[in-house]
Each structure stands twice: as structure tokens, then as C-alpha cells.
Amino acid sequence: GTRHQTRRQQETNSIALLETKVLLSSTKMMMNVLRQRVLSSRLDLIRCHAGSITSLLSTSQSLHDRLRASVHSLAGNELQLRANLRLVSKRRMIWNRRHSVHSESKPLTSKSVEEHEDKEEDNAFPTIEDAKALPLAYRKMDNVSLVTLAGMGQHSARREVLIRHIMAVDEVPYGVALETFQKIREANFDKMYLLGLPFQIGAASMIIGGLACLPLVFHLGTVEWFNQTYVTADVPPKKDLETWLEVGAWSWNWMEPLLGTGTFVLLCVQYFRINMDHLGIKPYTHRIKQARAHRLVKLFPKYDREVLMNYSETATIYSIEK
């Protein structure tokens, strides 16, 4: 009887152990399912946030472009408004003079008033005095107009701002300030020929490649030489090479991969350049111009840093200005 009870107790324990194992395995499975659901929900949440962030970035970029365009339009409207105000003030002065002379000489009548209104209608158009007062060069503009144009990136306006800044700092007339500016200009373009070699190499390579691809595709002698030297493809019968279009159809078998790959590489480089601008990463041109501007500030420390840098950054790589 004792053995029977012991065996029954062992069977009960084994059954309880199996139930415990089954319960543990089911618990683990439930934990794994819950973990997968939590991970999937987190991934969905991250994707949702990423989409919203992308939309916000695109919206902010469009708003930035609109703001820049509105700033440029406001600057142009400000210049037009200032010109209109000057024109109105001149017309008012002329009218006051005419009115004072007219009132002293004759009493106002209905006929004189009508004549005066007719003259006012004629004055709606620019006068000869207004045409003569039009500034035809940057050196004849006022300071406000120059600063506005310089802020918009006009290099000639920044050049004139620098000359007037030299006049104010050195207390010298325009001619002497122009001589000092020539020294600054020569220092600005000093040793820029070496830094511009990549642009020369790139331009020469593009011109040579563009001119060389024409005979390599359509000229029979050049195509046969290139085929014998680099391709070694089968030559078609002479009846299939009678025209330049037939020659191009034959050479296109090996020229298409070259030209197509080159075009795709240029497209990728252009797309990379656009993304650099979006990320705020400045290309080689901006870097060398910025380094040149810092060098110019060190060479002429007595003048304003921002005025010198603005002039240097908008100047060309080579000295083409006079």
C-alpha cells in the first residue's frame, strides 16, 4: 500500500511538472508575441514620425523659398517707393514755385485753375529734370540704394560700398580711395590662378570630350581606328557603311555604354550638388572664395571685416572686372 501511494504521488508530481512546463512554454510564446507586437507598434510609430518630419522639412523649405522671394520683392518695392518719393518731392517743389509766382503776378481765376490742372496732368510724366537726375552708374547712387543692392548680392554695388568705406575711414577723396581699392582688388585676385585650375581642367575636358565624340561615332576612319585599337568588333560589309548614319549605327554598339555611363555620372554629380546645397554643405567654389575673403581681411585690418568679405565673396575667381 505504501508503494502504491508513493507511485501515485510520483505520477501526480510528474503530471504537475508537465503542466508547469506547458504553462512556461505558453507563457514564453505569449511573451514573444507581445514583444513582436510592441516592436511592430514602435516601428509603425517611428515611420509615422519620420513621415511627419519629412513633410515638415519640405514645408519649411517651401516657406523658406517663399520668404526669400518676398524679401527680394520687398527690396525692389522699397527702391521703387524711394524713387517715387523723390519724384513727388521734386514735383511738389516745382508746383510750389509755379504757384507762388502765379499768385504774385495774377489773381486766381477759373481759367487759370483749368490751365494749372492741365499742366499738372502734363507733369504726370517724367520731366527733363527727372531724366537728368537718373543715376547711370553705381558711383552716382545714394548710400541707401547702394546698401540695398549690396544686400541683394550685386557685386558692383558692394564694390562701390567698399570704395566709399575707404573714403570714410581714410578721410580721402574719391580718386585717392579708388587707388587704395585697386590695391585691395589686386590682393584679392592674387594667386587665384592656381586655385582655379580645377575649373580650367573641367572645362577643357568637357570641350574635348564633346568635340571628340562626333568623329568617334560618325567618322568612318576614326571609328575603324578606335575599333582596331580598343574594341576589336566585327566590321560590317562595305555596303552597310556607305553613309555617316550607318557608321553611327555600327559604332553605337560600343559608344552607347560610354556616353550613357558618362551622362549618368554627370546626372548623379548634379543631384549630389543639389543635396549639398539643401544640407548647407558649401562646394569648392564657396570654400576658396571664403578663404580668400579671410585672407583679404588679414591683409587690410583697418577696414570693416564684413564690407571686405562681402566684396571678396561675390568677386569672380579671375580678375575680369575693371
Question: What residue ranges do the domains of the chain occupy?
Answer: 192-281
pLDDT 10s digits, 232-255: 999 999 999 999 999 999 999 999
> What rounded mean pLDDT belongs to the chain?
81
Write the CA distances from 134 to 75, 138, 156, 304, integer angstroms: 19, 11, 18, 30
Write the CA distances from 288 to 176, 181, 276, 298, integer angstroms: 30, 21, 16, 15
The pLDDT of residue 102 is 46
Give the span between the Cα atoms of 255 and 227, in whole angstroms: 11
Q: What angle do CA 45, 48, 50 make, to 5 degrees?
A: 110
Q: Is the pTM of this model over 0.85?
A: no
**CA 54 to chain centroid:** 21
Grid coordinates representing 64 are 523658406
The pLDDT of residue 112 is 56
Grid coordinates representing 86 are 523723390
Give the count of beta carbons closer than 10 Å to the beta carbon of residue 2: 6
Q: Strand, helix or coil at 73?
A: helix
**What mean pLDDT is predicted for residues 152-177?**
92
**What mean pLDDT is predicted for residues 7-33?**
80
**What mean pLDDT is predicted for residues 97-126?**
55
The pLDDT of residue 115 is 58
Confidence bin at 32 (pLDDT 50/70/90) = confident
pLDDT 10s digits, 285-322: 888 888 899 999 999 999 999 999 999 998 888 765 55
Task: Please return the burial class of 43, using the count of CB atoms within 10 Å of its CB with bins 0-12, 13-18 and 19+.
Answer: exposed
The pLDDT of residue 181 is 93
Grid coordinates representing 147 are 546698401
**What mean pLDDT is predicted for residues 149-154?**
89
Q: Which is more confident, 203 or 321?
A: 203
Between 24-38, 43-57, 295-309, the lowest mean confidence (pLDDT) is in: 43-57
Give the span between the Cα atoms of 138 and 146, in whole angstroms: 7
Most confident of 121-135, 136-150, 167-181: 167-181
Give the span between the Cα atoms of 223 and 228, in whole angstroms: 9
Whether 128 shows a pLDDT value over 60: the answer reads yes
Write the CA distances from 236 to 87, 169, 233, 239, integer angstroms: 78, 78, 9, 8
Confidence bin at 166 (pLDDT 50/70/90) = very high
Q: Which is more confident, 200 or 105?
A: 200
Whether 220 shows a pLDDT value over 90: the answer reads yes
Whether 104 shows a pLDDT value over 50: the answer reads no
Give the span between the Cα atoms of 233 and 90, in whole angstroms: 81
